[in-house]
Amino acid sequence: MNKTLDQQTIAELKLYIRDNGLNKVATALKRQFLANDLTTVYSPSSPPVDTHYGKGIFGALKQRIKRVKNTYTLGEYVESLLNERNKSFSVDLEKFGIDRFYKNKVIKNKINPSKQKLLCLAIALQLNIEETNELLRRAGLTLAEENSVFDNILGYFIEKGIYDPIQIDTYLVEFGESPMFSIE
């Protein structure tokens, strides 16, 4: 290990990577336990269906349809994030590897950005983990922390609120991953 890196951060990253799968399972179980207003209907011939007490299946379907109708495209979501963030602080996307032409293509839904570019955007806009997951979800992607060291490291820094591209790249390289912002 590199002696110039913060040993506390390295130790935390190792634990985060190791324990993240267990944390995801515990969180899912906790959510399921706390959601006492739901019951799962199951038959061997069909997948489980969540229904809300008092609403029945039609109420649950109406809620799902309402959510679908009220969703942004990826480009609209990125544009709303940029507008929201630009009001609170100036964002220099080029520092994070995203030029204005690429940004405009994403906003206009003319390209399908890579996962790495979306993660660069998440870091640039200082998104929290929920916003980052939503950004990736809208592109049909996910932060696969259970089986990816790269995704674990990015998840760690986003959860800690650390958005320094040089620091992130340094730790990615330290853990044998390719740098995101090309410091090599």
What is the per-residue pLDDT across 132-178, written as a single tens digit (0 to 9) for each? Answer: 999 999 999 999 877 789 999 999 999 999 999 999 999 999 999 99
Alpha helices for the chain (secondary structure H): 7-34, 56-69, 74-88, 100-107, 115-124, 129-138, 149-160, 165-174
The reported pLDDT for the residue numbered 37 is 42
In the predicted model, is pLDDT for residue 179 greater than 70? yes
Confidence of residue 31 (pLDDT cuts 50, 70, 90): low
What proportion of the chain, given as a percentage, has pLDDT over 90?
44
Among candidates 105, 119, 90, 102, which has minimal Cα distance to 181?
Answer: 119
Tell me the two tokens of residue 47. 């997948």
Could you give the CA distance from residue 119 to residue 102 in angstroms, rounded to a whole number? 14
Q: In angstroms, what CA-CA distances link 10 with 58, 59, 164? A: 50, 48, 16
CB 90 within 8 A of CB 58: no
The reported pLDDT for the residue numbered 20 is 73
Tell me the two tokens of residue 37. 């207003």
What proportion of the chain, given as a percentage, has pLDDT over 70?
72
In this prediction, residues 75-94 reach a mean pLDDT of 83
For the chain, domain boundaries: 37-70
Q: Which residue has the higher pLDDT, 179 or 15?
A: 179
What is the per-residue pLDDT across 59-77, written as a single tens digit (0 to 9) for each? Answer: 777 777 766 656 778 999 9
User: Range with the lowest mean pLDDT among 51-55, 122-126, 171-175?
Assistant: 51-55
Q: Which residue has the higher pLDDT, 48 or 139?
A: 139
Residues 6+ apart with CB under 8 A from 16: 152, 155, 156
In this prediction, residues 3-16 reach a mean pLDDT of 82
Helix (H) / strand (E) element for 42: namely strand 38-43
Among candidates 94, 119, 112, which has minimal Cα distance to 169?
Answer: 119
Sign of the alpha-carbon torsion through 140, 146, 148, 151: positive
In the predicted model, is pLDDT for residue 85 greater than 80? yes
Average pLDDT value over all residues in the chain: 80
